[in-house]
Structure 1
């Protein structure tokens, strides 16, 4: 999928200004996915180290377990390719932002409901399981004080350029 426009201004490091909770979850997602797709144990270890340092060991276990469940359900039911950027990339992809907002709405259980966002990533049969897993991830994050902010999705979707069909790798 394509890269969305930055949310608000950009920080000095080039990333859109994201709250600490968003940066944490984005980093954990990217490292976990990189570890899974490349078989890179060092990325999984880096995700664990970051989560344990920020959240503490027990909450980190709960968050990473819920995150893995969410990732597995998205992968199982994906309606096409779901993309992510490498952990060091300064961009935030549309699928990544959709996942962040899916979890944010799952934390609050308010509109647009998590199911509407899950439908952007997965086939109809996967919407309920993915939304449920994202809500559990949101609850695990809330239990350790990591509330994700709600973003204006209409503005984000309007700013999302269409990617050429030949593009297959995100930087």
Structure 2
């Protein structure tokens, strides 16, 4: 699956946008390894201002702490690429933007930075809304940096769409 086309990304973003419009929800993103790519895909569509609230690129631990209230203890205990941190990123993104739903992504895109327990291609995702606790999932993607990031963006767009469809 490491070949993700621009068309596949655009289709996934369009489908998510339709679901957000149908549910009259506004979305925020809190991204680390994808560097704002999910927000870019969502805002590439005309009319996205109807459902997109804000995109936050919280690449460093300091940005995660200061901008979206990720706790230093979670970062210290679990690391930035972890379930605890992406859950806090979702909650923080919703709190700071007022969005109805948010997605968070933090991972090791490579080529360096991996470890035995978090090899290159390890990406944590979380999505949630103002009602439910954030749902988190970890994926391991293959390929180079661009491939890992593209797969992450597609997984994020499809994952939050499924979440929204399942919670309504």
Tell me the TM-score normalised to structure 2 length: 0.31
Larger RCO (CA under 8 A, 6+ residues apart): 1
Kindly indicate which of the two structures has a greater share of residues assigned to helix. 1
